[in-house]
């Protein structure tokens, strides 16, 4: 199992530790970029949840278990240090959209989150050409679901039509087709649908129309678990929250290997399992 610590500075780029992490990874391993939990997570942005007390120490311990799960599944984990002044910064997925050819730095919909992107860009530059969404476009990475050459983008309060159009223009030269998808009742597209197998998505039909994902098998969540559609497919398995046993049973019956993780404290900040990493398949 491989977990490396990396320190980044927005102005100066990666420190030698980060450069070492980037240089020494095994090319056959997927890379998982993560960031430690901010001590300020109790001041996180919230849209669809009421604020609850978050135990920062428990959240940090859960995140470390999540990192260990990724490493056990064969990922080379590049773990960035916590950002004390950026409450939501553990949710690194929102800072970038990474495909095989390029990394697109987002412009998050919440202004408080826009300073999160610089340090992630410094690390991604070791692996990809880096381009960016420009103002006034808004795009959260949690709204972007790549399924092969199709890239679905949630039309939410965090992502604007201009942000979607810019992403389409940046990805089109590499062969990707970007499609906007209406989403209701949740924060991001990936709150409502994620990929769980090469030909299957897990979906909450109350929040997104399953018909948008034609050509794929569509497995619905248990209706008693509305937040259960967020799963992380990596290393031949599905990393999945312990909080949704009924939907986990559906995944298991479908023959999928489910790796349960406890992210209950992170969930209080509207986080889930895809939010906490950027997975690069090299």
HSE, side-chain direction, 13 A CA sphere, residue 30: 21
**Whole-number Å distance between alpha carbons of 187 and 148:** 24
**Whole-number Å distance between alpha carbons of 201 and 237:** 14
User: Of 223, 254, 258, 255, which is closest to residue 242 (Cα–Cα)?
Assistant: 258
**Catalytic residue status for 48:** no
Sign of CA dihedral 84, 280, 108, 184: negative
Identified catalytic residue from 8, 44, 63, 188: 188
**Catalytic residue status for 188:** yes
- SS3 for 252? helix
Does residue 109 contact residue 118 with C-beta atoms inside 8 Å?
no
Given strand 258-261, what is the order of strands in its sheet?
232-234, 237-241, 258-261
- What's the maximum distance between 2 C-alpha atoms anywhere in the chain? 49
Beta strand spans in the chain (E): 2-5, 8-9, 13-14, 31-35, 76-80, 96-98, 102-105, 129-132, 144-147, 150-155, 177-182, 193-197, 200-203, 217-220, 232-234, 237-241, 258-261, 278-280
- Write down how long the chain is: 282
**Whole-number Å distance between alpha carbons of 80 and 18:** 9
Identified catalytic residue from 8, 44, 275, 276: 275
Residues acting as catalytic residues: 188, 275
């Amino acid at each position: 199992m491989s977990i490396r610590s990396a320190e980044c500075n927005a102005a100066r780029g990666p420190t030698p530790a980060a450069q070492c992490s980037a240089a020494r990874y095994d090319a056959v391993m997927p890379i998982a970029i993560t960031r430690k939990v901010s001590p300020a997570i109790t001041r996180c942005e919230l849209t669809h949840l009421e604020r609850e007390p978050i135990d920062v120490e428990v959240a940090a311990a859960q995140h470390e278990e999540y990192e260990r799960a990724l490493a056990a599944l064969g990922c080379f984990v590049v773990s960035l240090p916590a950002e004390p002044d950026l409450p939501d910064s553990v949710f690194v997925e929102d800072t970038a959209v990474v495909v095989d050819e390029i990394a697109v730095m987002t412009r998050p919909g919440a202004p408080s989150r826009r300073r999160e992107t610089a340090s992630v860009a410094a690390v991604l530059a070791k692996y990809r050409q880096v381009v960016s969404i420009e103002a006034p476009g808004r795009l959260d990475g949690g709204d972007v679901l790549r399924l092969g050459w199709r890239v679905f983008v949630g039309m939410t309060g965090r992502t604007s039509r201009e942000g979607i159009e810019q992403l389409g223009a940046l990805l089109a030269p590499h062969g990707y087709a970007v499609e906007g998808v209406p989403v209701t009742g949740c924060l991001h597209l990936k709150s409502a649908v994620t990929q769980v197998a090469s030909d299957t998505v897990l979906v909450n039909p109350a929040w997104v129309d399953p018909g948008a994902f034609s050509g794929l098998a569509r497995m619905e969540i248990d209706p008693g678990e509305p937040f259960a559609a967020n799963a992380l497919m990596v290393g031949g398995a599905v990393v999945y929250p312990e909080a949704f046993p009924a939907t986990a049973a559906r995944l298991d019956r479908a023959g999928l290997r489910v790796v349960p993780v406890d992210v209950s404290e992170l969930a209080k900040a509207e986080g889930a399992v895809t939010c906490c990493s950027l997975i690069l398949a090299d």
